[in-house]
Amino acid sequence: MLVCTLSLPGTAVAQSLKEQIIGTWRTVSIYNEQNGVKQNLYGEKPVGLTVFDRSGYVIQYLSKADVPKFAADNRLKATDQEYRTVMQSIIAGFGTYTVDGDTVTIKWVASSYPNRAGTTEKRTYKITGEQMTSVNPTAASGGTSYQTFERAK
């Protein structure tokens, strides 16, 4: 009877965060809070993907939706202002991760924010259905970030 029940559509067996987190997640929203002030540093419609793989690697990309293009057709020939705008609009990196309860520990190998490379961050995650939320108390821009994801399909 138990086997029949578990095989029914819509019947879910409780999975740990470690099992549920694996896959590709699209950023739906993110805001930072510092000293009681909330800011949407990546705009109202951020663009982002986070991938957690089975072998323990994570890769993240997050940006504003409207990052302006460089005037030059060569990424090495932008103006100082163009570089500054990009650095304030995008963050990306990869590393390894472990899960303990609802806490995900990320050890950053590389990042577009060089100060993050070689560091370790702890974030809390919660998954409900196809939605995931994250709280990062050590956001690279200061304060605490609150991010919502949807599983990419």
Evaluate whether residue 10 is within a structural domain.
no
Q: Structural domain of residue 63, as residue ranges?
A: 15-151
Evaluate whether residue 139 is within a structural domain.
yes
Q: What confidence score (pLDDT) does residue 14 get?
A: 74
Q: What confidence score (pLDDT) does residue 89 get?
A: 97
Evaluate whether residue 86 is within a structural domain.
yes
Mean pLDDT over residues 108-126, rounded?
A: 97
CATH of the domain at 129: 2.40.128.280
Neighbours of 42 (CB within 10 A): 25
Q: How many domains does the chain have?
A: 1
Mean pLDDT over residues 120-145, rounded?
A: 96
Evaluate whether residue 2 is within a structural domain.
no
Q: Is the pLDDT of residue 2 over 80?
A: no
Evaluate whether residue 3 is within a structural domain.
no
Q: What confidence score (pLDDT) does residue 13 get?
A: 58
The token pair that represents 90 in the structure block: 């995008």
* Each residue's pLDDT tens digit, 54-108: 999 999 999 999 999 999 999 999 999 999 999 999 999 999 999 999 999 999 9
Evaluate whether residue 138 is within a structural domain.
yes
The pTM of the full predicted model, rounded to 2 decimals, is 0.88
Q: Is the pLDDT of residue 131 over 90?
A: yes
Rounded CA gap, 63 and 124, in Å? 21
Evaluate whether residue 7 is within a structural domain.
no
Q: Is the pLDDT of residue 6 over 50?
A: no
Evaluate whether residue 50 is within a structural domain.
yes
